[in-house]
Structure 1
């Protein structure tokens, strides 16, 4: 049984490496030929395993660590849930490539959803009973709430694919529903909760914290319509979208100011690597909010959602640039991993892969909008995917030697 956060991190970051490896296969098939691989089926495995095997797995672990700081085996109670989530993740990894949406893959997908339900029920109860309260707790509760909401989109997708009744508009609407409440709900709120909790453990308070939380919380549901502006939505929904974007920009501005107030105190507490990871995550988040604000113009939204490279670039910007870099930064800051030259090298190569991937997708998207074909983009995207995988391979190898003293 895995008893430490470091052990669970090693499992999770190994899963992230597998996600990157599948990404290499997907990019190779696009650039060259790989007849044995079914592109769409493998893509489903790639996305589901990334969400369940990497982000959800590590966020569950980090949320549990917040509750049981200092205990000898903090994961004993949650071990059944964490192992079940792993089973569901690997089940999807090994069934989606062969059958797409079928009996077994849908069964494992459903198992992952019910596992999230179980984690929510147990964790919500424990956080209410926790003796030491944290300002990050409302964020954690909201993240779990939005995780549950996102499952409606997953169930809708599974039903449509299983019954072969997927209309293009309904399929996209359900897909974006699931993605929105995962990315902007479960992932985002959990990460901000970890940030706020970390500042709290260092004795630093986030000014206007209550206002920041409610600005983001109230805007999350109506912000879904940002992903549906290509549909003929009613005027009231469009007005809600504008209000939601304004709320999020206000909340993000207040959050940045609140963190900036503690810069001098934070400098000696955070290593250079931790600073870079969190700073790059913040830059990616800023770009995300700027792009999101621009998408309230219906013409721009239809244009953006009409080009696959732009959609993929945006999704990777959030998953890799915002969420993954923040999680790695949080883990580095708390020393939940071995930090040596190999680990630093691996992370730097991984960051280079993210930057190259986003840059090429951006250039490809701009070229597509202008009806200009960019040469060798598929080969360059394959190169970026190899960089991502290589960085994570080195990071994984760096974690396999020696022991780390956990600092709880």
Structure 2
């Protein structure tokens, strides 16, 4: 049965959505390079982002949480199966509704039903997780932050009706993105990573783990201030944002100490080490960028060069950190297998992400310094976007090589 939660279906389905989101990204880049007059840019962009986060990101992360933190017996509960059927259906519907109609009635209905189903799953998971550890605390707070972020999806409809697309409208969107990114994904992914470390039998100081959790958690809510500095806010928000970025930086130092010990005491193969190091470097860069983003000068320049710095930051998180770490996790759990060609796919994926990030930020800095921009910039980004899609397709196909989809 395809709704069996300990099967590969949930992860292959999530990965298929990731590929489609990447295809939408490629189409957007194609339009930048070879403009098409009737191209529905905003609609495709909305589908691209929603499917990447709610399809690939949410489904893969929540599937791993169920597999690692709940018993097989609890996973078989009919409530999970029913809710995941709704999630699959609504996520698939968004692939069609956004490109055709954008953020209109049908898409809003799908998002609302998706949200209600994830609420049920979230509360059920919180009830079913029994163990007590730092990994568990991270996962539970990740779910708390997901629930907090989702409040914005209900509030934004009220704002649109009463005020239109004002500063409050955009700050509500940033509220959603902040607690989804820096709340749910960051906390849940590191909770999963710590659980894998426990399962490997590697002993990490609970004091160090707790320090990482405390600093990270203390920073999460005030760090939202960094997301609203673009609007006309009081100077106190810059102070709060800077303090939150420093707390995140301290938590990063604890994380690096933990990872240093991990790399000394495991036998992971080369590709797993590369994936983990790549994702952690991306996460460290994200934290450093957030420190700089607490200063007015960098806020102003980032807004002026949004297609480069802000888009580069979003892709740094989504591809370099979240996706690379998910590949590591799924391989560690033997859900995804990296054979000969899929290893090539992983290396190509990492190379294309690295090159695309270089293009984004180099072009941004060249324009910031009023120097000549990179020649054929859009064409190069289009090339690497296509290469990214190809790498994902190779990885996906290889998952069927030695083990067929479980029933």
TM-score range, shorter chain: over 0.9
Equivalence for 1:173: 171
What SS is found at the alignment partner of 2:341? helix
- Is 1:61 aligned to 2:63, yes or no? yes
- Is 1:400 aligned to 2:395, yes or no? no
* 1:97-132 superposed Cα distances (whole Å, 9 cap, x missing partner): 1111111011111122222211111011111xx2x4
- Is 1:260 aligned to 2:260, yes or no? yes
* Residue 239 of structure 1: how far off its partner (Å): 2.5
* Residue 175 of structure 1: how far off its partner (Å): 2.1
Partners of 1:366 and 1:154 lie apart in 2 by 34
Task: Give the TM-score, by structure 1 length.
Answer: 0.92
Equivalence for 1:239: 239
Give 1:87's match in structure 2, choosing from 86, 89, 92. 89
Q: Is the 8 A contact 2:134 2:210 kept in 1?
A: no
Q: CA distance change for structure 1 residues 277 and 239 in 2, over 3 Å: closer, same or farther?
A: same
What SS is found at the alignment partner of 2:329? helix
Q: CA distance change for structure 1 residues 246 and 357 in 2, over 3 Å: closer, same or farther?
A: same
Q: Is the 8 A contact 1:342 1:395 kept in 2?
A: yes
Equivalence for 1:21: 23
What SS is found at the alignment partner of 1:403? coil
Q: Bigger shift: 157-166 or 22-31?
A: 157-166
What SS is found at the alignment partner of 1:374? coil
Spell out the pairing of 1:174-253 with structure 2 (5 A cutoff). 174-207=172-205, 208-253=208-253
What SS is found at the alignment partner of 1:78? helix
Spell out the pairing of 1:47-196 with structure 2 (5 A cutoff). 47-68=49-70, 78-127=80-129, 130=130, 132-161=131-160, 165-167=164-166, 169-196=167-194
Partners of 1:99 and 1:160 lie apart in 2 by 20
* 1:175-224 superposed Cα distances (whole Å, 9 cap, x missing partner): 22111111100100001101111111122343222221111111101101
Q: Is the 8 A contact 2:14 2:55 kept in 1?
A: yes
Q: Provide the aligned C-alpha RMSD in A.
A: 2.1
* 1:277-298 superposed Cα distances (whole Å, 9 cap, x missing partner): 0110011111111111111211
Q: CA distance change for structure 1 residues 368 and 110 in 2, over 3 Å: closer, same or farther?
A: farther
Partners of 1:332 and 1:218 lie apart in 2 by 31
Q: Which runs of 5+ in 1 are unaligned?
A: none
Q: Which runs of 5+ in 2 are unaligned?
A: none
Q: Is the 8 A contact 2:44 2:99 kept in 1?
A: yes
Query: How many corresponding residue pairs?
Result: 400
Equivalence for 1:311: 310
What SS is found at the alignment partner of 2:165? coil
Task: Give the TM-score, by structure 2 length.
Answer: 0.92
Partners of 1:75 and 1:303 lie apart in 2 by 51
Q: Bigger shift: 364-373 or 89-98?
A: 364-373
Q: Is the 8 A contact 1:337 1:399 kept in 2?
A: yes
Partners of 2:144 and 2:69 lie apart in 1 by 18
Q: Is the 8 A contact 1:277 1:326 kept in 2?
A: yes
What SS is found at the alignment partner of 2:8? helix
